[in-house]
Chain A
Amino acid sequence: MIPEFESFNLPILSLVVLTPALVALALCLVDRNNRALIRQLALMGSFLTLLFSLLMVANFDSSLGTMQLEEQHSWIESLGITYHLGVDGISILLVLLTCFTMPFVFLSTWACIDDRVKEFHIALLLLQTGMVGAFVSLDLILFYLYYEAMLIPMYLIIGIWGGRERIYAALKFFIFTMVGSLLMFLGILYLYHHAGTFDLPVLMERLRTTHPLDSDQQLWLFLAFTLSFAIKVPLFPLHTWLPDAHVQAPTAGSVVLAGVLLKMGTYGLIRFAIPLFPEAAFDLQSMMAWLAIIGIVFGACMALVQNDIKKLIAYSSVSHLGFVVLACFIPNLESLTGAILQMVNHGLSTGMLFLMIGIIYERRHTRELADYGGICKVVPIFSIFFMLAVLSSIGLPGLNGFVGEFLLLYGVFSSVPLWGVLASTGVLLGALYMLNMVKKFLFGPLVHEENRHIADLNTRELIYLTPFVVMMVWLGLYPAPFIKMVQPTLTLYIEMLQN
């Protein structure tokens, strides 16, 4: 029995969005040398946010499929900007994913971030506010604010706490993203000029009824929005910032980047670019699909030849998110459900992989595959967890990756068989590069003496890795509750697209 909280009339979404920012403000007042307090406060703040997000799920009626828990307040009336939040089946899982990931990300940084701890935690908390805010914003400018606000903390995280080439990577990340988002900004302003509102539901209604766009306008606006999201995803050939950013970012940065930030791109496609400009999306469907397929195969091939584990996972992300983009442009229930599940799955498995690479990097200070080999005998528990994450990533039945990938490919195949076949090669290649990596990393002879004394997972690490495994198994064995949350919304969404 789900407890009924609605009588309190809590602004639940605002709580989920703003709690991390408020904790960040509180952290400003803490003495910078009191690292333990800073770490605990941030952790507690992120757990509190997780709690609020569970409250959000409890109040979410998954049978409806409409926008729920909406909050709308006037904000900048003179510019027509409102504070409009809402959550539906498309965004709820992503909000959950974000709120679920963050506490464990905080836990993972306790050993590796020693420099400017206070700033680091403030940046991560603000990043969380930005991410969740972008997922639940229903006002285009509000969305844009959060979307851009994520950029600065991430930029600082890569640039301050990153590796040797961090400044280059941070700058590349910032400029790539900024180019796209400013063009989207122009698109948003043009939409306002055309339809007179920034409010997403109202805008959708007006575009369909009173203020239709002609095909040229649709095309350019679609391109402006899609470019921005394609950079975030990142879609081939705009992916070049990702390997640099991933390799240079500290572990926490990589986890958030791969786990949540990249989904902003695919989410943006599903939420904004496609439903706002459906004709243009339909016209460019095959171009986008081919780019996605090239990305799938290209990312996989690049991953095959990487020696740096982090870079390998980064390229695997390019490949995995190619699947999601492909599915976004094929509007049937299976492919879209699969797309959303795959966003969550990729967040879980890749997030966990990055966490574990961080763990081993803390011990050995290298990410080169050649420096490892045979360590499964030295660190058995680590190896089991790592194997689980890898298997989830390549879609082994019984783990989360399988459900999403199967639905997604089934959906694609039933629409355009050729694309389904080509995309499936990505699954094969995925198994190839992942297992190849595991072989060189965990198995084989133990050639390096230094590797004999690597410590296995400690309690703290077990604590933050176990939840990921639990979620992977849950999503793999019993995904029904999650699919139920998603599908009513998607059914309405597809109906709307077909009109």
Chain B
Amino acid sequence: MLDRMETFRLQPTRGFSRVLAPRELWRYRDLAAQIALRDITVRYRQTALGGAWAVLQPLGFMVVFSLIFGAAAGISSNGIPYPLFSLAALVPWTFFATAVLLGSDSLVANAALVSKIYFPRIFMPAGVIVAGFVDLMISFVILMIIVFAWGWAPSLAILALPLLVAIAVAAALGTAAALSAINVRYRDVRYVVPFSIQMWLFASPVVYASSEIPEPWQTLSALNPMVGVVEGFRWATLGTGDAPWDLIGISAAAAVVFLVAGLAYFDRVERAFADYV
């Protein structure tokens, strides 16, 4: 029995430690699953409409955007019916926005746990994102139903979706990890995030098409990972237009930077969470 027991040394850490330690994450895999399961189960419990909320939000925005930007302002949607144009963008956007919004509050919302129990803290923002993934799948199914009902159909480009979702997940996790860590020290994050996400919506081609932006700004704008994701989603689900590989490529690289920077920052400050939260 003795030889199976490991000795663990607890000491002040210097440099990087846990977040990127796969053994540590693997050891706590059951907890990761339970936290994700909790976030999924709890999200719509005691709501009358339940999982329908995952769909109602993007649908609602679709209607509003179609009336304001499509009909009234007459923004060009490259020949795509404006409702389809905006919904194909709103599905990944809602996933990203919700993940960042809830993820950035996840450590503070679970302060009782963080200050009483040890576990790899990254599970908190990550759990929120896994739960959001379920919503993404529900709203994706609805999107496909509406696309077909409108008489449109995706092309083979739909095979690029996993890549696009991966970019969105990487960008969301990196952003949520960093913001949740800052939130532990500075609750200002709570007030900054909802506002910034709205700004971010308009900085991403959700209500307009990227092609409206003059070069070189169009290419540069893809440094915002959601630019590639949103344009990619339109191309992949509506089966129209040229593959925006340049945007997707730049956004993918940017998302990797977001992820690595976010996790690295999280890792640096993780050890002090319990002292501040």
- A-B complex is real: no
Query: B residues bordering A, Cβ < 8 Å?
Result: none
Query: A residues bordering B, Cβ < 8 Å?
Result: none
